[in-house]
Amino acid sequence: MRVVVDLNRCQSYAQCCYAAPEHFEVRGHEILFYDPAPPEAKRSQVERAQQACPVRAIAIEPAGLAEGDEP
Amino acid sequence: MTDGQRPGIVVVGASLAGLRGAEALRDGGYDGPLTLVGDEPHRPYDRPPLSKHVLAGELHPDATALPQLTRLRAQWRLGLPAVALDRDRRVVRLADGATLPYETLLIATGARARPWPGEGADLAGIFTIRTLEDARSLRSALALRPSRVLIVGAGLIGCEAASCCRDLGLAVTLVDPNPTPLARLLGTVIGATLAGRMRASGVDLRPNVKVVAFSGEDGQVRRAHLAGGADIATDLVIVALGATRDTGWLAAAALVADPGGLTCDAACRALTTTGEPDPAIYAAGDVARWPNPLTGGRLVTVEHWGNAVDQARHAAANMLAPPTGQVEYQHVPSFWSSQFGLNIKLAGLTEGAEALAIVQGSRASHRFLAVYGRAGRTVAALSFDQARWLPAYAEAVADGAAFPPILGATDQPRIETLEPGFPSPRRSSGRSVTALETAHA
């Protein structure tokens, strides 16, 4: 699956790190390192991270969206 | 004419801006044919990780593919650059000679890395960081553990690359003609703070130094020659001299376009050489130069992620609106950069600022919020590891609030106002060694 975080919006509340610790990590005081391509099997966890974000900075490609829509 | 025969909308540039623009067209109700043209063979990908986690080897280059947020029902023409635009016939010509007709065009061709302009440019071991392939080949070269990496240009990309190289345990020298890193972007007062952090991380920082040429052995770079005669031994060079906008393909289109950008009106419509906008052509992202109301209508280009997203969505909305419904695009430029363990964020334009105030935290602690003032107004806010304060000050920037914007808060000591220390404007003559991370025309 494909994920992108708007790091202009991100303020490192780190709620994503609690929801999906394997895919989001805060380094130093407030640098977010995240996995932009988590396995599809982890979708529910990553979507929980998206829901938990207080500044709504996480965007996720919906499942199956790009099928038949590929380059 | 049936829908299948209509040319519809063509987006040139399968980039962040191109993708978000195309999505906004569909979300806005556009149901006709939609074609995306990209010169690279990849679907749209995210560039910020390329100079950070991809170089560090933490992310596979292919993992940077951007999420698509709306069903596009688009034709993709990838791996073929657009080479010419014929506005009279309303066609885009591609590199293979094919022509692509359009009713409305969105230009999002972005920019390309400025290559090494001097002697030695054809040596192996000299890299730039802009595209996925750039990052892939540089990552492979760094994995071979070069004995010394030389980075030319201490703008955002050069500094991020230096940080990565130190994380990898590589010896790195960073040279820049200015007195500090990020001097043109943030001034030398803030730059000196970053310089201290860099040196503590083991970077061999050489400010006030110009590289004039590279030389090599057996076609491989070995030495950088400096103005003044000294030289630096190196086996891997990263050229981080900013970018030039990708407007070459518009040369014969009678638009106001040059390596500094494609000039648009406030509604993101491309200006023709007669001074009128072409109502069928819009531009967004790095390539677009427009009179931002926030800067008093001064023409700016903004080479940042947030502008690619916002301007593409704005242009798409105008593309779908009637001529009387065109809305001007107002934008507070913003960027982030992570380097040397710091999260650096800026909102606004520092250009021309003559005052700097540290309003939260301290430079000594490397955690602070600083605001830049110009003619009594707040024009930019900068955060070093203080991101939660930034939105409040970004609002002050958007409002053109008095400088400094927030005075006398109970948790604030006396605010110190400094001169930011911007280097004198660079001469435009001769070979330019520039750090144009945000080039504001």
Reading chain B (441 residues) residue by residue, the pLDDT tens digits are 455 579 999 999 999 999 999 999 999 999 999 999 999 999 999 999 999 999 999 999 999 999 999 999 999 999 999 999 999 999 999 999 999 999 999 999 999 999 999 999 999 999 999 999 999 999 999 999 999 999 999 999 999 999 999 999 999 999 999 999 999 999 999 999 999 999 999 999 999 999 999 999 999 999 999 999 999 999 999 999 999 999 999 999 999 999 999 999 999 999 999 999 999 999 999 999 999 998 888 999 999 999 999 999 999 999 999 999 999 999 999 999 999 999 999 999 999 999 999 998 989 999 999 999 999 999 999 999 999 999 999 999 999 999 987 666 666 667 878 999 999 876 544 333 333 333 332
Residue B100: predicted pLDDT = 97
| Whether the predicted model's global pTM rises above the 0.90 cut | yes
Residue with tokens 């070069």: B146
The verdict on a CB contact (< 8 Å) between A36 and B46 is yes
Domain with A51 in it: what CATH number?
A: 3.30.70.20
The partner residue sitting opposite B63, judged by closest CB among A6, A27, A37, is A37
Residue B411: predicted pLDDT = 64
Contacts of B305 in chain A (CB under 8 A): 6-8
Q: Please give the tally of structural domains in chain A.
A: 1
Among B372, B414, B416, which Cα is nearest to B397's?
Answer: B372
Q: Residue A44: inside a domain, yes or no?
A: yes
Could you tell me which residues are beta bridge partners of residue B342?
B339
Contacts of B49 in chain A (CB under 8 A): 36
The verdict on a CB contact (< 8 Å) between B43 and A69 is no
Residue with tokens 């609002």: B395
The partner residue sitting opposite A28, judged by closest CB among B76, B309, B343, is B343
The partner residue sitting opposite A4, judged by closest CB among B67, B343, B385, is B67
Instruction: In chain B, list all ranges with CATH 3.30.390.30.
Output: 334-434
List all residues of chain A from 10 to 39 with a beta carbon under 8 Å from chain B: 10-12, 27-31, 33, 35-37
In this structure, which topology does domain B334-434 adopt according to CATH? Enolase-like; domain 1 (3.30.390)
Q: What CATH number has the domain spanning B9-112+244-325?
A: 3.50.50.60
Distance, in Å, from the CA atom of A35 to the CA atom of B335, rounded to the nearest integer, reads 20
Among B357, B347, B411, which Cα is nearest to B379's?
Answer: B347
Tens-digit pLDDT profile for residues A36-64: 999 999 999 999 999 999 999 999 999 98
Size of interface A-B (CB pairs under 8 A): 85
Distance, in Å, from the CA atom of B71 to the CA atom of B397, rounded to the nearest integer, reads 36
Among B335, B332, B328, B243, which Cα is nearest to B282's?
Answer: B328
* Widest pairwise Cα distance in chain B: 70
Residue A67: predicted pLDDT = 79
3-class DSSP state of B11: strand
3-class DSSP state of B49: helix
The ipTM of this complex is 0.97
Instruction: In chain B, list all ranges with CATH 3.50.50.60.
Output: 9-112+244-325, 126-241
Residue B436: predicted pLDDT = 35
The verdict on a CB contact (< 8 Å) between A30 and B385 is yes
Q: Residue A6: inside a domain, yes or no?
A: yes
The verdict on a CB contact (< 8 Å) between B68 and A29 is no
Residue B413: predicted pLDDT = 66
Q: Which residues of B223-245 are buried (b: 16+ CB within 10 A; e: fewer)?
A: bbbeeeeeebebbbbbbbbbbbb
Contacts of B391 in chain A (CB under 8 A): 11
Distance from B345 to chain A by nearest Cα, in Å? 8
The verdict on a CB contact (< 8 Å) between B67 and A59 is yes
Closest-CA residue of B relative to A65 is: B71
Contacts of B348 in chain A (CB under 8 A): none
Q: Residue A69: inside a domain, yes or no?
A: no
Residue B1: predicted pLDDT = 46
Q: Which residues of A12-45 are buried (b: 16+ CB within 10 A; e: fewer)?
A: bbbbbbebbeebbebeeebbbbbbbebeeeeeeb
Asked if A54 is an interface residue toward chain B (Cβ–Cβ < 8 A), one would say: no
The partner residue sitting opposite A60, judged by closest CB among B67, B334, B390, is B67
Contacts of A42 in chain B (CB under 8 A): none
Q: What are the DSSP calls for B326-345, one per residue?
A: --------EEEEEETTEEEE
Q: Testing the interface with B: which of A31, A56, A60 to mutate, by most B Cβ within 10 A?
A: A31
Name the residue range of residue A20's domain: 2-61
- Which CATH superfamily includes the segment(s) B126-241? FAD/NAD(P)-binding domain (3.50.50.60)
Q: Testing the interface with B: which of A1, A10, A12, A30 to mutate, by most B Cβ within 10 A?
A: A30
Distance, in Å, from the CA atom of B71 to the CA atom of B90, rounded to the nearest integer, reads 26
Q: Which two tokens stand for residue B238?
A: 């990263």
The verdict on a CB contact (< 8 Å) between A27 and B341 is yes
Q: Residue A71: inside a domain, yes or no?
A: no
Distance from A38 to chain B by nearest Cα, in Å? 9
CB B368 within 8 A of CB B418: no
Residue B4: predicted pLDDT = 55
